[in-house]
Amino acid sequence: MSNASLMPSTRKTDTPWWKIPHVLLIPVLLLSGVVATSTMVVISSMDQDPVLDKEVYERERRAAQALEGQARFDALMAVQPAQQGRNHAASPVVPTDD
């Protein structure tokens, strides 16, 4: 004889699914994910960074390399790419692509 047959059933079969709080958690979480994603897309598309022209960058870089001393260092630091600038923010030497 199993214990399951001795226990009275406490489950109600006449309760509709929308009245069970745990079941409502699923669509609420999905809807909150959709709202959060939509909000992130709107925020990120409102203030986009401009795409830089490579020809202008190369022209400014050549002009900076023609300078001497501290002026050259400052000019090269100003025109280096953002990722390179972050990676070498504390280094005293400007990396070159030579």
Residue 35, pLDDT score = 98
What residues contact residue 96 under an 8 Å CB cut-off, 6+ apart?
none
Residue 21 CA to residue 3 CA, distance in Å, equals: 29
Q: What is the pLDDT of residues 17-44, one digit of tens each?
A: 888 888 889 999 999 999 999 999 999 8
| Mean pLDDT of the 60-66 span | 87
CA dihedral 70, 74, 75, 77 (to 10 degrees): 140
Residue 64 CA to residue 59 CA, distance in Å, equals: 9
What is this structure's pTM?
0.42
| Percent of the chain with pLDDT strictly greater than 90 | 15
